[in-house]
Structure 1
Amino acid sequence: MGGKYAWLDCKFSFTTANPATECSGFLSLVPTERGKWKIWILRTILEQITGHGDVDSLVPCLQNGSTLSEGATLDAHETTNGSQNGLTNGHTGLDIGTAPNESSMYDTYVAIIGGGQSGLSTGGRLQALGVPYVILEQHSSVGDAWKTRYTSARLHTARKYSHLPFDRTFGPSYPEYLGKEDLAEGPRAWAAKYGIKIWLLTTVHSGYWDNQTQTYTLNIRRADIESQVTAKHVVMATGAGSQTPVMPVFPNRERYRGLVLHSAQYVSANYWKGKSGIVIGTANTGYDVASDMQEAGWSRIWFKGAELISNTSLFLTALYNEKTPTEVSDRIMFSNPVSIARLTSTEVFHTMARAQPERWDALERAGFKVNPYGDIQDAINIRLGGHYIDVGTSAKISKGLIMVKSDSPIASYTGDGLLFADGTEVKADVIVFATGFIGNLKQHVKQLFGDEVAERAGDCFGLNEGEILGAFKPTQQPGLWYIGGALGNQSQPVHLEDEG
């Protein structure tokens, strides 16, 4: 690694008798000065509970993942088990095997709130294990969580890091950096291929936990019909860092005569060609919006932001590629403790940064305060953003096509733009806040189940003693789970992973 460090990873497998399980692990060995090997890291992974299905294998229910039945296609208003307008099998009632219109209550073992990448992945894993579940998704079509984003939205990591379980969701016909249409099409075809049980046009507006029966009740609205779902487990897959906008407040907002948007409301820069704009926030979305403005021919674009970690996604290709099975890549990538991941990712990123000094110098000359030697694990696991993986916009800043204001904080709005603490006024017709989203899913638990349940569930993301809080493991609230994060997190069997 970086030409300085090396170790040997040895994969092994083993079983246990009580309970009967199938397990694997890695020994990371380093040489000693005496020519012997020393164990640096020992990782163990619970692969399967013997006799209870294979979490990595699910037989497709459809050929080619393109049709529901001969001559029938999955349109924008169909679910993946042949239902229309968010209704299963054309009924306004419940799911396959239930009596529609006879009851407003549906009982299952696991209710998954949210049908994005993490919700779909969880549903697929449960289906592979034979565990009853249902996914509750507010949009009208699988994939709309991405499709409804701004026009130029795309991933800044390689497509091979973005697969759902069981197969390579995004094959070589897809571009290397997936756009929002790709990110809608791939999961949609995947859900149809594997017959994932998902209720569309379904919102969960409240719920409660019965401690005596150890059961959750979810009050839902499905295609304009009120009903309830009961479950022993609830998985919160409601979008960590992507649903609840963070919107800074500055004085004199009422004076400003232009348009103020959060990136959650932004669609395209083409609506305001020839205008001037300010983008506040310099993570991936902020870069996308500023690049949009420049390509749409805006007269002036200003970027307001602090330091960033700016690197390419090349470091992922060593693990995620066309040759290595995704499940193998996941086990290597995600079985390491965060403390070790911090050491290895820092070495890789900083080696890359040292090889490109002019890249950072050019950004500094343009007025952008850049930090190529920051901690990517802090951005991913604590801030859930705030970094930029460069796919070309940094060069536009270096060339002066996008102007930068990073030497003074914002003081207030003016009638024509923003006033900074140094007395500078920057005028703009449109101000877009690309300032991120709240990443702690505890807030969604509080909204649905109240303070007591939320406090027992605890925080989601952030670090405690070097390990991720809440996500991918049991919480103190019985039967309540958090899942979310980067797309790479969603292909792995997180509920079976264990770090030794």
Structure 2
Amino acid sequence: MEQKLFVRQALASSNLHALRLALLHATGDPDLAAMKLELVPIRSGAAFEMTIAEESREELFRKAEEFLAGQASTYVPRELEENEIRTMMEIALGQELTDDEFVVARTMPALEEFPVFSHWTGERPLRADDFRVVITGAGLCGVAMGVQLEQLGIPYVIYERRPDVGGTWAINTYPDARVDTASTTYEYSFMKNYPWSEQYARQPEVRHYIETVAKKYGVYDHIRFEHEVQAAEFDEHSSLWSIRVTDASGETETVTCNFTVTATGLFSTPKKLDTEGIDGFTGEVLHTTGWTEQHTVKGKTAAIIGNGSTGVQLLSRIAEDADQVYVFQRTPQWIAPREGYGEPVTEEMRWVLDNIPHYWNWARTTALKPADPRGTITPDPEWRAAGGYFSESNDKLRENLTQYIRSQVDNRADLVERLVPDYTPAARRPVVDNKWYRSLTRDNVELVTDGITRFTDTAIVTADGTERHVDIVLTAVGFEVTKWLWPIDFRGRDGVHIEDRWNMEGGPRAFQGLAVPQFPNLFVLYGPNAQPATGGGIGVGGLPAWMESWVGYIARVMVAVIEGGDDCAEVTEAAFWEYNNAVDETARKMIWLDPAANPEKNYYVNEHGRLSTSTPLPGLDLGTRFLNFERDDFILTRTGSHARTSDGRASFVTAS
């Protein structure tokens, strides 16, 4: 009896839409396909989640219990025919799919081992032995690139400047650092059903996940830790890159390779707080990336400068330990709650994932498409003409978030007035609440909204003349997100520096966020306009899954070069500008560049007023682009001869 009760509780705790899809996958029962759905608002109304209508839930539970009692113990995973996958994807997404949409959408449940990776068109060519790839960075992108190259059998090495894997998840160890998207969407599609302990994983677990993947798929042994890439230069005669690398002892070596892939990340260069008097401050000034387990605020007066994702995550923990905390807010943020944030993956949730065949695949799919938010980020002229602020859905979101702020600070007028932003929700990066608003009501926390003018030797002085004496300053002021490759000096064809090229074009640009003309065989992971900004809709998945799509596309270019007998691939100016013009044209019609949305300064938009971090193109367009390599987008050439080592191969060789 207790087991039956547990099973029922476990089923009730599941994503009911995903549960229905998993059972449909396993049994093909048409009654499951016919069950009615209803939409439930989530994320304060920013999205809607599909769930089984109340009238069908008891039948769903009964069918699940019958399957578990009868078929589950002997069930052999059922592979679906293409028409079945299409039907299930249409049920999962709640819409009919065109042929193009289906090609992209079918990757979402990750039914294959590597749903978006590239493969050889036939047998692996022996010529692949002659090619070498250098990857810079062993974070999520670099490890994904390594896994893809492992599948193709292309030799590679990863240079990582730190002593461990993880990238941003190794650097950021501040209190309560965690993902702000569900753990089930913050994972690679090839690492099935990873046993996350929390619904929104914390930093140590994410870093361990990346290390686990690197070791499981053979990538870890290719990483050279504490090696920092300093410069890279392309040799047109040999079609090889020369990479200058420095190790922990300061010794420098130069290696050659055919392809170089930068996976240094968007959040690799911390911003420095540059305020008058800061160099004379006698307390400790610490960017959040500098926090270690040896640091403490116990018995201290702390200042937190910044209220983006990092500042919002760490406040509650700092406030628990410090005697006094001053929170310096320059610009109010729309900070929203998130279902399941800070909560564990319960025993019941874990049981469903481990005992219902295919549940992970369909829970992943439904989590990736809670709603298409384009109505929230696209202005509605008719709504505005009728007196609305931006669009019906965005205005409703503003109303809900404003009410949330009021409820969290006990409707204190002194706080509400300073916390409610005057710009449109979604104009800046969404921030997930980690008890930040509630922490502002603590007796030992003070919200400061007057601008900082200078530091004294012991205090921070604000524009109203107030001095606040502090022992430690935590700067949560973000990263230099427009410096994708800096300080590495990349020189391409004709000796052109990549920074010089970008400086002439309104800031960094890349074809599909990956490639730049005049820089053959160079690919930038998480490059300019790479990050999907529209959320929801038909797409590949969460950010790590998009990373898989990026590296899959890079590998398609490599496969074309190697199989075609070529040596070099360079994106054409025409393809480069076609993509960037499409990005710019689409962005002009959306929230980030809308003057009335008043987004002020944010890291999505660069100093030239261009959307540069993210791409506004819809997920279907992006997914289609990454799954298909169009040869006309690149100039593929052969040099006739490579610079070779004595065995006839390009190699990771040390130059004297």
1:428 aligns with 2:465: no
Instruction: Report the residue type matching 1:157 in the other structure.
Output: T
Shift of 1:282: 0.4
- Contact 1:470 1:482 (C-alpha < 8 Å) held by counterparts: no
Name the counterpart of 1:388: 431
- Pair 1:192 & 2:215 matched: yes
Find the counterpart in structure 1 of residue 172 from structure 2.
149
**Bigger radius of gyration:** 2
Given the superposition, is the C-alpha separation of residues 43 and 315 from structure 1 closer, same or farther in structure 2, using an over 3 Å criterion?
farther
2:496 aligns with 452
Contact 1:117 1:164 (C-alpha < 8 Å) held by counterparts: no
CA displacement at 1:238 relative to structure 2: 0.5
More helix by share: 2
CA RMSD of aligned residues (A): 4.7
- 8 Å CA contact retained: 1:207, 1:449: yes
| Cα deviation 1:92-128 (Å, max 9, x = unaligned) | xxxxxxxxxxxxxx97433211010111112222333
How far the C-alpha of 1:134 sits from its partner, in A, is 2.7
Q: Which residue of 2 aligns with 1:359?
A: 404
The amino acid across from 1:125 in the alignment is Q
Work out whether residues 114 and 237 of structure 1, in 8 Å CA contact, stay in contact via their aligned partners in 2.
yes
Supply the AA of the counterpart residue of 1:369: L
If asked which structure has higher relative contact order (CA below 8 Å, sep 6+), I would say 2
Cα distance in structure 1, aligned partners of 2:484 and 2:117:
31
How far does residue 38 in structure 1 lie from its aligned partner after superposition? 12
- 1:438 aligned onto 2:484: no
- 2:309 corresponds to 1:264: no
AA of the residue aligned to 2:244: N
Q: 1:186 Cα deviation (Å)?
A: 0.9
SS at match of 1:128: helix
Pick from 157, 161, 174 the counterpart of residue 197 of structure 2.
Answer: 174
Is the contact made by 1:283 and 1:388 (CA closer than 8 Å) also made in structure 2?
A: yes
Normalised TM-score (structure 2): 0.52
Q: 2:255 aligns with which of 229, 235, 255?
A: 229
Gap change, CA 1:116 and 1:255, over 3 Å in 2: closer
Cα pair distance change 1:199/1:351, threshold 3 Å: same
CA distance in structure 2 between the partners assigned to 1:38 and 1:328 by the alignment: 16
1:358: Cα distance to partner? Answer: 3.3
Q: Percent identity?
A: 19
* Alignment CA distance shift 1:463-1:471 (3 Å): farther
Partners of 1:137 and 1:198 within 8 A in 2: no
Matches within 5 A, 1:339-358: 342-343=377-378, 351=396, 353-358=398-403
Deviations 1:193-212 (A, max 9, x none): 11125323132222211123
Pair 1:417-2:441 in alignment: no
CA drift at 1:436: 0.6
Structure 1, 388-397 or 265-274: larger mean CA deviation: 265-274
Are residues 237 and 339 of structure 1, via their aligned partners in 2, closer, same or farther at CA, if it must alter by over 3 Å? farther
Is the 2:230–2:487 contact (alpha carbons within 8 Å) kept by the matching residues of 1? no
The answer as to 2:497 corresponding to 1:474 is: no
- Distance, in Å, in 2 between the alignment partners of 1:298 and 1:435 is 23
TM-score (norm 1): 0.66
**542, 560, 566: which one aligns with 1:488:** 542
5+ residue gaps, structure 2: 1-38, 51-80, 84-88, 108-112, 120-128, 342-358, 380-390, 533-540, 554-622, 627-656
Find the aligned partners of 1:237 and 1:181 in 2 and give their Cα distance.
21
What letter corresponds to residue 391 of structure 1 in structure 2? N
Query: Deviations 1:152-192 (Å, cap 9, x if unpaired)?
Result: 22222221121124123632x42122122201211111111
Give the 5 Å matches for 1:47-126: 56=116, 108-126=131-149
Give CA-to-partner distance per residue, 1:118-157, whole Å, 9 cap, x none: 1111222233344443322223333375244324222222
Matched, 1:285 2:334: no
- 1:1-12 matches, cutoff 5 A: none
Residue type of the alignment partner of 1:324: W
Unaligned runs of 5+ in 1: 15-24, 32-36, 60-105, 381-386
Q: Structure 1 stretch 347-356 or stretch 197-206: which is displaced more? A: 347-356
Change (3 A) 1:306 1:116: same
Letter in 2 for 1:175: E
Residue equivalent to 2:420: 370
Of 115, 139, 151, which residue of structure 1 is paired with 2:162?
139
Count of matched residue positions in the alignment of Structure 1 and Structure 2: 407
- Taking a change above 3 Å as real, the CA distance of residues 146 and 266 of structure 1, as seen in their structure-2 partners, is same
| Residue aligning to 1:216 | 241
Deviation, structure 1 residue 258: 2.0
**Which range moves more in the overlay, 366-375 or 409-418?**
366-375
Alignment partners' CA distance in 2, 1:56 and 1:226: 37
In 1, Cα distance between the equivalents of 2:114 and 2:472? 52
